[in-house]
Protein backbone atom coordinates (compact mmCIF):
# COMPACT_ATOMS: atom_id res chain seq x y z
CA UNK A 1 0.00 0.00 0.00
CA UNK A 2 1.41 3.42 -0.88
CA UNK A 3 2.00 5.92 1.89
CA UNK A 4 -0.59 8.26 0.44
CA UNK A 5 -3.38 5.81 1.13
CA UNK A 6 -5.10 6.13 4.46
CA UNK A 7 -4.70 3.07 6.61
CA UNK A 8 -6.94 2.10 9.46
CA UNK A 9 -5.41 1.79 12.91
CA UNK A 10 -5.99 -1.95 12.59
CA UNK A 11 -3.81 -2.05 9.46
CA UNK A 12 -1.17 0.26 10.99
CA UNK A 13 -0.75 -2.13 13.94
CA UNK A 14 -0.04 -4.88 11.43
CA UNK A 15 -3.45 -6.46 10.96
CA UNK A 16 -4.61 -9.82 12.16
CA UNK A 17 -1.19 -11.44 12.63
CA UNK A 18 0.10 -8.58 14.77
CA UNK A 19 -3.08 -8.43 16.86
CA UNK A 20 -2.84 -12.17 17.44
CA UNK A 21 0.76 -11.79 18.67
CA UNK A 22 -0.28 -8.94 20.98
CA UNK A 23 -3.16 -10.98 22.39
CA UNK A 24 -0.94 -14.00 23.00
CA UNK A 25 1.42 -11.79 24.99
CA UNK A 26 -1.47 -10.03 26.74
CA UNK A 27 -2.93 -13.29 28.01
CA UNK A 28 0.50 -14.43 29.19
CA UNK A 29 0.61 -11.23 31.22
CA UNK A 30 -2.92 -11.71 32.58
CA UNK A 31 -2.26 -15.32 33.58
CA UNK A 32 0.95 -14.15 35.26
CA UNK A 33 -1.00 -11.87 37.61
CA UNK A 34 -2.16 -13.79 40.71
CA UNK A 35 -5.09 -11.38 41.09
CA UNK A 36 -6.36 -12.26 37.60
CA UNK A 37 -5.29 -15.83 36.89
CA UNK A 38 -8.14 -17.37 38.89
CA UNK A 39 -10.76 -15.96 36.53
CA UNK A 40 -9.32 -18.04 33.71
CA UNK A 41 -8.76 -21.30 35.60
CA UNK A 42 -11.57 -23.17 33.88
CA UNK A 43 -11.58 -21.19 30.65
CA UNK A 44 -10.03 -22.10 27.31
CA UNK A 45 -8.16 -18.83 26.78
CA UNK A 46 -7.44 -19.78 23.15
CA UNK A 47 -11.19 -19.73 22.54
CA UNK A 48 -11.52 -16.18 23.90
CA UNK A 49 -8.68 -14.69 21.87
CA UNK A 50 -10.44 -14.75 18.47
CA UNK A 51 -13.48 -13.07 20.06
CA UNK A 52 -11.32 -10.38 21.62
CA UNK A 53 -9.59 -9.91 18.25
CA UNK A 54 -13.03 -9.33 16.71
CA UNK A 55 -13.79 -6.67 19.31
CA UNK A 56 -10.42 -5.01 18.64
CA UNK A 57 -11.08 -5.07 14.91
CA UNK A 58 -14.28 -3.11 15.54
CA UNK A 59 -12.42 -0.65 17.81
CA UNK A 60 -9.51 -0.16 15.35
CA UNK A 61 -11.60 -0.12 12.18
CA UNK A 62 -10.24 -3.21 10.44
CA UNK A 63 -11.52 -4.30 7.04
CA UNK A 64 -13.52 -7.22 8.43
CA UNK A 65 -14.92 -5.33 11.41
CA UNK A 66 -18.30 -6.80 12.24
CA UNK A 67 -21.19 -4.42 12.20
CA UNK A 68 -23.58 -6.88 13.77
CA UNK A 69 -22.12 -6.94 17.29
CA UNK A 70 -24.01 -5.22 20.07
CA UNK A 71 -20.87 -4.65 22.15
CA UNK A 72 -22.72 -3.64 25.30
CA UNK A 73 -24.95 -6.70 25.28
CA UNK A 74 -22.20 -9.08 24.18
CA UNK A 75 -19.67 -7.98 26.81
CA UNK A 76 -22.27 -7.84 29.57
CA UNK A 77 -23.39 -11.37 28.76
CA UNK A 78 -19.80 -12.70 28.48
CA UNK A 79 -18.84 -11.39 31.93
CA UNK A 80 -22.04 -11.74 33.89
CA UNK A 81 -21.55 -13.71 37.06
CA UNK A 82 -17.74 -13.48 36.96
CA UNK A 83 -17.62 -10.77 39.63
CA UNK A 84 -14.91 -8.67 37.98
CA UNK A 85 -14.05 -5.76 40.33
CA UNK A 86 -12.88 -2.29 39.36
CA UNK A 87 -9.42 -3.22 40.62
CA UNK A 88 -9.37 -6.40 38.47
CA UNK A 89 -10.42 -4.32 35.50
CA UNK A 90 -7.79 -1.64 36.11
CA UNK A 91 -5.05 -4.26 36.41
CA UNK A 92 -6.19 -5.99 33.20
CA UNK A 93 -6.13 -2.62 31.44
CA UNK A 94 -2.63 -2.01 32.77
CA UNK A 95 -1.44 -5.38 31.44
CA UNK A 96 -2.95 -4.53 28.05
CA UNK A 97 -1.33 -1.08 27.90
CA UNK A 98 2.04 -2.55 29.00
CA UNK A 99 1.71 -5.09 26.19
CA UNK A 100 0.97 -2.36 23.64
CA UNK A 101 4.09 -0.52 24.79
CA UNK A 102 6.14 -3.68 24.51
CA UNK A 103 5.03 -3.96 20.87
CA UNK A 104 5.72 -0.24 20.24
CA UNK A 105 2.11 0.39 19.24
CA UNK A 106 1.81 4.07 18.20
CA UNK A 107 0.47 6.52 20.78
CA UNK A 108 -2.72 7.44 18.88
CA UNK A 109 -3.70 3.77 18.64
CA UNK A 110 -2.98 3.32 22.34
CA UNK A 111 -5.30 6.26 22.98
CA UNK A 112 -8.06 4.63 20.95
CA UNK A 113 -7.71 1.43 22.96
CA UNK A 114 -7.54 3.28 26.29
CA UNK A 115 -10.74 5.10 25.30
CA UNK A 116 -12.45 1.82 24.43
CA UNK A 117 -11.33 0.38 27.78
CA UNK A 118 -13.05 3.26 29.56
CA UNK A 119 -16.18 2.91 27.42
CA UNK A 120 -16.73 -0.81 27.96
CA UNK A 121 -15.79 -0.93 31.66
CA UNK A 122 -19.45 -0.79 32.82
CA UNK A 123 -20.25 -3.89 30.73
CA UNK A 124 -17.45 -5.97 32.25
CA UNK A 125 -17.26 -4.86 35.88
CA UNK A 126 -19.85 -6.41 38.18
CA UNK A 127 -22.50 -3.96 39.37
Q: Catalog residues that contact ligand HEM under the rule CB under 6 A.
A: 36, 39-40, 43, 48, 51-52, 55, 75, 78-79, 82, 84, 88-89, 92, 117, 120, 124
* Of residues 37 and 102, the one with the C-beta less far from ligand HEM: 37
CB of 6 to ligand HEM, least distance (A): 26
Q: Around Cβ 8, how many Cβ atoms within 10 Å?
A: 15
Q: Minimum Å distance from CB 5 to ligand HEM?
A: 29
Q: How far is CA 112 from CA 2, 23, 61, 97, in A?
A: 24, 16, 11, 11
Q: How far apart are CA 21 and CA 112, in angstroms?
A: 19
Q: How far is CA 96 from CA 7, 25, 31, in A?
A: 23, 9, 12
Between residues 3 and 34, which has the closer beta carbon with respect to ligand HEM? 34
For the bound state, the minimum distance from the C-beta of residue 22 to ligand HEM, rounded and expressed in Å, comes to 13
Amino acid sequence: MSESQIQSQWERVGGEAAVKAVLDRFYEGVLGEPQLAGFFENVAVDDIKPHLAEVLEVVLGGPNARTDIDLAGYLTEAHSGLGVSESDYALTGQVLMDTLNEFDVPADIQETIAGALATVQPFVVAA
